[in-house]
Amino acid sequence: MNSRSKAVYPGSFDPLTNGHLDVIRRSAAVFEVLTVAVVVNPQKREPMFTLEERKDLIRECTADLPNIEVMDFRGLLADFVRQIGADVIIKGLRVVSDFESELSTALMNRSLSGIDTMFLMSDAKYSFVSSSLIKEVFLLGGDVSGYVPEPVLRTMNSRRATVRAQN
């Protein structure tokens, strides 16, 4: 393999989960620099966390990793990866249905930018963990402490206290 020094791990990270963090740690062990790229406006729905909150939480949870940078991007991922001179895009795969959507995305991103996507299989213990499920369980009063890093949990709990105080 040619030297691949800079990888980009893109996502909404609304919020960062233990599954994301596992992919970040494993990627950071392989590439010289890993840029965690937070999309400004997630396509799915209104985010629970602001862009700055999402970035700050990633920074806090990866503070022990010297080769991580956290950036945001808007528009096409293919443009962003070219602009910052990245060599590869990283995506995590949890289940087969992830692969189905990621295949066309990876091919489109390579067609647009010439940059390949590399996939890491999620750790099996995180194969059912997604930000959207975490938010749903949390908002319905469930315990999400096993699925998100401690700083994320703390922020979510303080948010719940605020919501309770307002009601």
Catalytic residue ranges: 20, 44, 94, 131
- Among 108, 120, 133, 139, which residue interacts with ligand PNS (rule: CB under 6 A)? 108
Whole-number minimum distance, CB 74 to ligand PNS, in Å? 8
Indicate the residue among 11 and 28 with the shorter CB distance to ligand PNS. 11
HEC profile of 51-100? HHHHHHHHHHHCCCCCCEEEEEECCCHHHHHHHCCCCEEEEEECCHHHHH
State yes or no: residue 92 binds ligand PNS (CB under 6 A): no
Whole-number minimum distance, CB 138 to ligand PNS, in Å? 17
Indicate the residue among 137 and 163 with the shorter CB distance to ligand PNS. 137
State yes or no: residue 156 binds ligand PNS (CB under 6 A): no
CA contacts within 13 A on the Cβ side of 67: 16
State yes or no: residue 21 binds ligand PNS (CB under 6 A): no
State yes or no: residue 39 binds ligand PNS (CB under 6 A): yes
153: CB partners within 8 A, 6+ apart: 144, 145
34 SS3 class: strand
What is the x/- site pattern for ligand PNS, positions 57-76, by CB under 6 A? -------------------x
Beta-bridge partners for 115: none
Smallest CA-to-CA distance from 84 within 30, 13, 7 is with 7
State yes or no: residue 105 binds ligand PNS (CB under 6 A): yes
66 prior amide bond cis, ω within 30: no
Whole-number minimum distance, CB 94 to ligand PNS, in Å? 11
Chain residues binding ligand PNS by CB under 6 A are: 10-12, 39, 42-43, 76-78, 105, 108-109
